Amino acid sequence: MKFSRTPALASLVLASALTLAACGDDSDGGHDSTDGHAGHDMADMTGMTTEGADDADMQHDHAMDGGEAPAGIAETTDPMYPVGTEVTVLADHMEGMDGATGTVTGAYSTTAYAVSYTPTDGGAPVSDHRWVVQEELEGVKGADGAGDAPLADGTEVTLTADHMAGMEGATATIDSSTQETVYMVDIATTDGMTMTNHKWVTESELAPADAE
C-alpha cells in the first residue's frame, strides 16, 4: 500500500511560510519601534540643546558696554567706593556676577528701582530687573532736589534705559526701590565675560576687593 506524502509536505511548507512571516512582522515592528525611540530621543536632545542655547543667550543679553551715565544724574561727592576702587560684586543680577571682581567707574546719588516689564521687541517678560535709576524713567524728575523720588511700588512707568534689547520704550511696573549710592562698574565675571560700565550696582551689593 502506498501513502501520498503530498499533503504532509504541503502542510510543512505552509507552516514554515507562516513562521517566516511572523518573524518578518516582529522584525519590522522592532525596527519601527527603534526608529520611534531614536526620533524621540533626538527631539529631546535637540530641545535640550536649544534650551541650553536660550539660557546662554539670557545670561549674555546684557550690554557688554553700558555706555555713559544718563543725563541729569548727580555724582556722589564722597562715595564709599570712589572711581578706580577695586571691588568684589555681591549682586546676582546675572550668571557669573556674584563674586566677580570689578573696578568702579562712576558713583551717583539717585533712586534705583527694580522693575518688571515686557520688552518692545517681543521678548519674554522680565521680572524684577535690577536696576534702573530715576533718570532712566520717562517724564520723571530726578532725585537731586526737585524730584518725585521715590516712586511707589506698583507705579507704571516708561523706561528710557537701554541696558538690554527691547528695554528702551517698554512699559514697566516698579517692584521695589532703594535710595543709596549706585555705581557703574567694569566687571570681570566669574564665567569669563568682561563688562564695561555695567549699570547698575548698589552700594550694598559691593564689598572691598580685599575683604575676607
How confident is the model at residue 59, as a pLDDT?
Answer: 38
Q: What is the pLDDT of residue 143?
A: 52
What are the cell numbers at 115? 522693575
- Does residue 37 sit in helix, strand or coil? helix
**How far is residue 186's CA from residue 10's CA, in Å, rounded to a whole number?**
89
Q: Both 186 and 129 in a single domain?
A: yes
Residuewise pLDDT in 10s, the chain (212 residues): 444 444 444 444 444 444 444 444 444 444 343 333 333 333 333 333 333 334 334 433 677 889 999 999 999 999 999 999 999 999 999 999 999 999 999 999 999 999 999 999 999 999 999 999 999 999 887 655 445 668 999 999 999 999 999 999 999 999 999 999 999 999 999 999 999 999 999 999 999 998 65
Count other C-beta atoms under 10 Å from residue 38's C-beta.
10
**94 and 184 part of one domain:** yes
Q: Do 193 and 121 share a domain, yes or no?
A: yes
| pLDDT (0 to 100) of residue 83 | 98
Q: Is residue 68 part of a domain?
A: no
Cα separation, 170 vs 159, in Å, equals 6
**What local confidence, expressed as pLDDT, does residue 147 receive?**
56
Residues 43 and 136 in one domain: no
Judgement on whether residues 167 and 191 belong to the same structural domain of the protein: yes
The whole-number pLDDT of residue 19 equals 46
CATH number at residue 190: 2.30.30.1210
Q: How many Å apart are CA 65 and CA 110, to the nearest integer?
A: 21
Q: Tell me what pLDDT residue 65 has.
A: 87
If you search the block for the grid coordinates 516582529, which residue do you land on? 26
54 and 80 part of one domain: no
pLDDT at 43: 36
Same domain, 167 and 192: yes
Q: Please tell me the total count of domains within the chain.
A: 2
The CA–CA distances, whole Å, from 68 to 17, 102, 106, 185 equal 83, 17, 10, 12
Structural domain for 98, as ranges: 74-208
pLDDT for position 63 = 78
Task: Please report the pLDDT score of residue 6 as a whole number.
Answer: 45
**Domain stops at, among 59, 90, 108:** 59
DSSP β-ladder status, 171-178 and 74-75: unpaired
In a domain, 64, yes or no: no
In a domain, 163, yes or no: yes
Same domain, 31 and 135: no
Q: Looking at the structure, do residues 185 and 159 belong to the same domain, yes or no? A: yes
